[in-house]
A and B are shown apart, each in its own frame.
Chain A
Amino acid sequence: MSGFYSVLASLLKYIFVTVIYLFIFAIIRMIFLDIKKANSDKRKPQHDTTYLEVITNKNNLYFDVESSYPLTSDVVIIGRGEDCTISINDLYMSNQNTQLWFEDKEWYIADMGSTNGTYINGEKMTDEPLILDSGDRIRIGQVEFVIVIVGE
């Protein structure tokens, strides 16, 4: 091996390793900025429609729930079935547990004959549909929601 090459290779190895580490550092930095941006986007959820906010501590549940569910359609069915508008895999829910619907500028709620019932502000619902006010607590199965009504 020529002397020139030996010197070149021995010098370049330091630069080489440094550049590789700069590369790794640059990628980690960009990923870090990405996460930071994603988190700051997440902190202020935008709601221009009425939504249900989950207030049960999600860590105590064995199934997945979102932190909030926007009510985008006029009829919303909550239950365990996969075809429900809001489908939550909670064993204490019936396939079609509760129905919410929008009529004459009011949100109505009715239990759909579920096994474990629907609780409004801690009281079990009868078969009569009720009109919801913003801030009412709704408990279905093991999950408790607060309804936040936006707009009229």
Chain B
Amino acid sequence: MKALKKPIILLLITTVMAFALLFFYRTPMDVNILYIGGSVMLISAITYFAIVYFKLGDEYLFLIVSMLVVLGTLMLCRINYTYGIKQILWYLISVSAFYLSFFIYKYVKMLNKMGTFYFILGVILFIATLLFGTRSGGAKNWIRAGILSVQPSEFIKLLYIFFLASYFSGKRDKLVFGKIKEKYAILFCVYMYLGFLVLQREWGIAVLFFVIYIAMEYIFEHDLMLILCNFLLAGLGGGVGYLTMYHIQVRVATWLNPWADVSKTGYQIAQSLFAISSGGFFGSGLGLGKPEYIPAVHTDFIFSAICEELGLFGGVAIILLFFIFTYRGAKISLKLPEGFDKCIAAGITVMFGIQTFIILGGVIKLIPLTGITLPFISYGGSSLLSSFIALGVLQALSGREVEK
């Protein structure tokens, strides 16, 4: 019984059960799924023991994320086997990216002096998306190169946090171009990013960027007047957007009442609500529900599928996992001394927290739905990769506090 108190053992039990179920679910039975499950298990275990043994910092972050990834890949394999396998391959790549970003952040010392570089790289990526991007589901956010398709906004997200952090940790009384206060220059940069996102119709990520800025402004500068002005400005922008753009009106209308046009615009959210409600407390059991009726169930609406097949308890478990994850992030940030590291930790934590809130709120009809991925769970290589890079940075930051 004592073993059951160790989270890593429980994680391994979950992985074994998940892939055993998948093995029996697939007809004809495919032995490969057991090998894949075994390798996922091995990677989680090795990384966990490496973190504990070499004292690489917080040991819970990776555990929580591994649990989320196992639940996510389980659901994906069940919804669409090809996507699931692809996601597991991306997971293997992402874990290497996790190690890479961990060591880069730990040993490269000049990351805090490259604010302008992050900003310009972000702008270049935005322009590249606008020029070479392809449209998918209303948003022009993909760059396809051969078999590989990348979603640059996932990586701009990280650049944006690094950019904001290098500003908030630097001396803030500098003047740009001789007369503009740096505070307002940053504001201009933030709104430029938001403008690009609106051009790509990435409303979810635009909201995410805005909230990250507000949160960091509130934590590190605490200029309440500026925050108020920002809210007014954003409210104005949102209002103008609502009045002029049809697809935002549709989004708000389906949020207020999806049943009014349930066969067309309200279809997705209605199916999501049906799925969640049909799950009940313990769900229908894996493979026994019908989550494939929801459009985009493998990306944005994966939470509804989890709720249907693993039940309300499964869904709440996901929320709780994100909850502890955000708590750990906030704790790491609080313990760090003032400076770049603290800003990065706060930014990444806010990013994960708000992103989870935006999409979960969207699929349960709490807030208007905006297409954004659920970190670590939704299908998508770019999303998984960028989340793991951020996790690597957070891991390196939690190590700093141990060193002291």
Contacts and interface: CB of A to CB of B under 8 A. Distances in A.
Interface of A: 1-2, 4-6, 8-10, 12-17, 19-24, 26-31
Nearest to A13: B285
Interface in B50-81: 60, 63-64, 67, 71
Contacts, number: 87
A12 B21 contact: yes
A6 B285 CA distance: 8
13 contacts: A1-B287, A6-B285, A8-B24, A12-B21, A12-B285, A16-B286, A16-B310, A17-B311, A21-B317, A24-B317, A26-B6, A26-B10, A30-B60
Given A13-B286, A16-B17, A27 B311 contact: no
List 5 tightest A-B contacts by C-beta distance, closest first: A9-B285, A23-B10, A26-B7, A13-B285, A10-B285
Contacts of B10: 19-20, 22-23, 26
Given A17-B311, A27-B60, 7 more contacts: A13-B282, A13-B311, A17-B282, A20-B314, A21-B313, A23-B67, A26-B6
A19 B70 CA distance: 13
Interface string B313-329: 11001001100100110
Nearest to A28: B324
A16 B17 CA distance: 7
Contacts of A30: 7, 60
Nearest to A11: B285
Contact of B60 (A4, A17, A19, A31): A31
B4 interface: yes
A17 B288 contact: no
A23 B5 CA distance: 8
Contacts of B18: 16
A27 B64 contact: yes
Contacts of A12: 17, 21, 285-286
A27 B7 CA distance: 6
Contacts of A19: 10, 13-14, 17
B287 A5 contact: yes
A15 B311 CA distance: 13
